[in-house]
Structure 1
Amino acid sequence: MNKLLFLVAFLVFSLPAFAQKTTETGMYLVTFKNKKGTTYDVSRPEEFLSERALLRRAAHGAEITEVDLPLSPDHLAEVAETGATLWLQSKWMNGVVVAAAGPQVKELNKLNFVDEVELVAPVQYSRASTLPVVPNLDRPEPRVDPVPVSSRFYGYGWDNLTGMKGDSLHSWGFRGKGVLVAVFDGGFPSVNYKDFLGYREEAEVPANYDIVEQDSTALDGSTHGATVLSTMAANHPFFFIGTAPEAKYVLFKTENGKGEHRLEEINYAVALELADSIGVDVVNSSLGYTTFSSKSMNYKYSDLDGKTSPASRAITTAFERGMIIVTSAGNSGSDPWKYIGTPADSPEAFSIGALNSDGSRAYFSSYGPTADGRIKPDVSALGVDVAAVASNGRGLTSANGTSLASPLVAGLMACLRQAVPDATNQEILDAVRATASQADAPDNERGWGQPDFAAAYRLLMSKRP
């Protein structure tokens, strides 16, 4: 199978009018009018989707459409002839991100198959190779020896687990085995195979890809991703065990440490498409977007409709293909903004607020509703004094934020997916909401409340033949 096909992503839509057509040097999103000349066909999906992806789509009745087809090689060749540097490809959006100067931008706008050319960021990275480094995302599952489900063996991870009755799922043998989880963040340093997550050999370290710099590894950059990952994947008996230690993880670096621009949302969407292509089941993204380095790109509250942000729209497309996307609601609850960010506004995003240990809303947890009146967050989980492995891989840290509440839920979503493999993603989300602590009276502070994953499992099983 051609792994180059896994370097593409997005949705058929255009960006909002934050970026006017311009001719300055920068990163541009170039969208195409059609896929005329593509060498692929919906009748041969195995040529551009993995077996895992096809099985997941079949289980959800998701058809393979023209949106899924790789881009036209003729279009790509003509874009390259302008002198622009190809950065990202997107089959869902039918377009590319390129690095281009003024004269190249003018030439791109002249191409008869080009729909729009939009500035999305300044040029901040260079790449030695003409094309991105192709990632190897086919790494083995971790070899985890199950331990008794108790506070003694789970160590400091016990409280992370028990508040949502995740210990019941683990006791019943559901710890995420066979489930593929993607994590989007700003980097994953110190994810080594002995001291951090407990992998016994280097081959078990999660597969990873850096979409931002387009180089060979995401195991660098911000320490945020490493801390987030540990709450799910850590497996140190007697010290710290995460909420889904037997799941298989794929790590994507989507956040740019040099500035905030709309290109990060495109990175996010590209990661979602890539995750779909390799058959990911559950995604955690402890990320959110409201303001950027360029004020012209900032969102207004009226933009939080689930239809404006590229990342929010990409979540809708990924969900239609059977994926579960868990994301943090945001930490703006005590700020003048106060509301959730994008892509938590997506109707299909399972957006997570933060709770104190007593179940009350953490003061920083962002509020709903969305601009079109939908309740957000969906549910809320522990987000204050959350135990996690320290970013240097040595010892523990205590962290706060919806960034920590989200992976706790995502890990248990992976366990629930393992437990009820024939359930659709919509059934799973509905069951978690229906059995949460304030399911009878959801609000825009805590959503449907704190999940009870044992009750969600029983509800799902009660509906099985």
Structure 2
Amino acid sequence: MRIVLLFLLPLLASVSLPGQAAAGSGLYFVGFTDKNVDGVDYPFQLDQPEDFLSPRALARRDKHGTPIEKLDLPINPAYERQLHDLGLSIWLRSKWMNGVVIVATPEQLGPVDDLPFVDTTYYAAPLQYERGARLPLPAQLDRPAPQVASVPVAEKFYGFGWKNLQHLQGDSLHRMGFRGAGVLVAVFDGGFPDVGYKDFLGYDQEAAVPANYDLVEQDSTALDGSTHGATVLSTMAAQHPFFFIGLAPEARYILFKTENSRGEHRMEELNYAIALELADSAGVDLVNSSLGYTTFTDSTMNYAYEDLDGRQSPASVAIDRAFARGMIVVTSAGNNGADPWLHIGIPADADKAFSIGALDDTDERAYFSSLGPTADGRTKPDVSAPGVLIAAVASNGQGLTAANGTSLSAPLITGMTACLLQAVPDATNQEILDAIRATASQSAAPDTATGYGLPNFMAAYRYLRQDPE
């Protein structure tokens, strides 16, 4: 994993409580052959999706004409019981991957492999946390939305957030009243300390955040850890008039900690995929992911450029599955354009990922912004946004940060996409992304450096409304 941001200036799937793990324990993914949904003990039915999907998730699928299928059904609890009978504890569950992450030693894997319903097992990460796990709570969408100050859409009132907004022609959408209201956004990152400050989410207390999940430590909150997530979030959600207003201050945000600051392993990709499942179940419309995977602490897990076909990583596969269910996943292309890797990372290689490159102050590719195409020749990045000296709120809500990176480019696009989703609520996710590409600065000649170029969100709105320029 590499969190794709460079600071320059200061300015759940349910879990079982892990017992005392044996020495040498690690986290292993165990994939099942099927879900045996026709078995006598299987408790879920395709014609009763309300048992495992929220009303909001079902409404989004109805809008996109997406049927409920076996992939959406939870894993078979009878399979879990047999793993428990072997003395193993479940760390995470995945219905889309049809498997679980277990805590085990290498010696314990033999009996697991012998189970008739087990298809595959592989090592994901060392066990680094022995924290008390919790069952993740459903998103509390009945909690009040943040109270957003009604201020004129002008530089004086938007403060340091104005340049971000105007560069993407988002000020026109804000003047029309489209600031992300009614849109549910998930943010995947390494932590979100201090987001209870009104400067971030408009809530008086952290408990009012609709939901937050820590898939890494399995503890009670994601509102701690790396400050990276809080910085990313601020570009969208901050709402402090005269100092900083973000690009989608009226959207609602669900926060996921998927990144482990103690090391880089494939487990983070599993966290990412499972976070997408949770986001889908909660009814999330839009995801921001300022993350990328290329090389790892354990070098045997490293990817090669030839792997970037959108089918090798569970994170990339999960993005395509999320898109098929009506979601939009915006992800950073990566900051490797000036180092030997050079190319985009995973999951920016996913076919349906909206992968974002970085531009400098002349709207040319920033020197660090990763290059496409994918290994199978698809255009990436999709579009590019400002990514050099981008203003953001400091993680404690008490000052300003200026930062470089596609980590900042991605949330700028996410924030404006939230406004576009509000402005054209009948548009599908494919129509939204097609409109952004079709009206970007290089729509006639996309390339492997900046994709379709710099978006113009007011033009995208007109395109969707079929209004004349």
CA distance in 1, matches of 2:14, 2:430: 26
Deviation for aligned residue 1:8: 6.2
Deviation for aligned residue 1:127: 2.8
Deviation for aligned residue 1:388: 0.3
Q: 1:395 aligns with which of 372, 393, 399?
A: 399
Residue 94 of structure 2 corresponds to 90
Deviation for aligned residue 1:197: 4.0
CA distance in 1, matches of 2:162, 2:262: 36
CA RMSD of aligned residues (A): 1.7
Gap regions ≥5 residues in structure 2? 1-11, 16-22
CA distance in 1, matches of 2:362, 2:204: 37
Deviation for aligned residue 1:159: 0.3
Residue 13 of structure 2 corresponds to 7
Residue 139 of structure 2 corresponds to 137
> Counterparts of 1:167-206 in structure 2 under 5 Å?
167-205=171-209
- 1:137 maps to a residue whose letter is A
For the residue of structure 1 that corresponds to 2:292, the secondary structure is coil
Residue 27 of structure 2 corresponds to 27
Are the equivalent residues in 2 in contact too, given 1:8–1:274 (CA < 8 A)? no
CA distance in 1, matches of 2:379, 2:14: 32
1:423 aligns with 2:396: no
CA distance in 1, matches of 2:202, 2:280: 27
Change (3 A) 1:302 1:75: same
Deviation for aligned residue 1:136: 4.6
CA distance in 1, matches of 2:87, 2:122: 17
Residue 436 of structure 2 corresponds to 432
Are the equivalent residues in 2 in contact too, given 1:51–1:279 (CA < 8 A)? yes
Are the equivalent residues in 1 in contact too, given 2:199–2:238 (CA < 8 A)? no
Are the equivalent residues in 2 in contact too, given 1:380–1:405 (CA < 8 A)? yes
When structure 1 is superposed on structure 2, of 63-72 and 192-201 the one drifting more is 192-201
> Counterparts of 1:35-50 in structure 2 under 5 Å?
35-36=35-36, 37=39, 38-50=42-54
C-alpha distance after superposition, 1:359-417 (max 9, x if no partner): 11111000000000111110000101101001222111111100000000001111101
1:275 aligns with 2:247: no
Residue 5 of structure 2 corresponds to none
Q: TM-score, normalised by structure 2?
A: 0.92
When structure 1 is superposed on structure 2, of 204-213 and 291-300 the one drifting more is 204-213
Q: Percent identity?
A: 63
- 2:32 maps to a residue whose letter is F
Deviation for aligned residue 1:24: 6.5
Residue 451 of structure 2 corresponds to 447
Are the equivalent residues in 2 in contact too, given 1:26–1:99 (CA < 8 A)? yes
When structure 1 is superposed on structure 2, of 427-436 and 188-197 the one drifting more is 188-197
C-alpha distance after superposition, 1:274-325 (max 9, x if no partner): 0000100000000000000111110000000011111000000000000000
Are the equivalent residues in 1 in contact too, given 2:316–2:346 (CA < 8 A)? yes
Residue 3 of structure 1 corresponds to none
Change (3 A) 1:42 1:127: same
Deviation for aligned residue 1:203: 4.4
Aligned residues: 444
1:293 aligns with 2:262: no
1:404 aligns with 2:408: yes
C-alpha distance after superposition, 1:169-220 (max 9, x if no partner): 1111110000000000000012123354443444433521101111110011
Residue 233 of structure 1 corresponds to 237
Residue 242 of structure 1 corresponds to 246
Are the equivalent residues in 2 in contact too, given 1:133–1:215 (CA < 8 A)? no
CA distance in 2, matches of 1:448, 1:128: 46
Q: 2:384 aligns with which of 368, 380, 386?
A: 380
C-alpha distance after superposition, 1:136-162 (max 9, x if no partner): 521532121321111011000000001
Deviation for aligned residue 1:357: 1.9
Are the equivalent residues in 2 in contact too, given 1:8–1:273 (CA < 8 A)? no
CA distance in 1, matches of 2:132, 2:54: 29
For the residue of structure 1 that corresponds to 2:330, the secondary structure is strand
Deviation for aligned residue 1:110: 1.5
CA distance in 2, matches of 1:61, 1:128: 40
CA distance in 1, matches of 2:441, 2:217: 42
Residue 217 of structure 2 corresponds to 213
Q: TM-score, normalised by structure 1?
A: 0.93
- 2:50 maps to a residue whose letter is E
CA distance in 2, matches of 1:198, 1:40: 38
Are the equivalent residues in 2 in contact too, given 1:193–1:204 (CA < 8 A)? no
CA distance in 2, matches of 1:342, 1:65: 26
C-alpha distance after superposition, 1:307-344 (max 9, x if no partner): 11110000000000000000000000100111000000
Change (3 A) 1:458 1:196: closer
Residue 61 of structure 2 corresponds to 57
Are the equivalent residues in 2 in contact too, given 1:8–1:90 (CA < 8 A)? no
CA distance in 1, matches of 2:199, 2:386: 25
Are the equivalent residues in 2 in contact too, given 1:135–1:216 (CA < 8 A)? no
CA distance in 1, matches of 2:296, 2:411: 25
CA distance in 2, matches of 1:325, 1:70: 22
CA distance in 1, matches of 2:200, 2:24: 44
Residue 16 of structure 1 corresponds to none
Deviation for aligned residue 1:84: 1.3
Deviation for aligned residue 1:133: 3.3
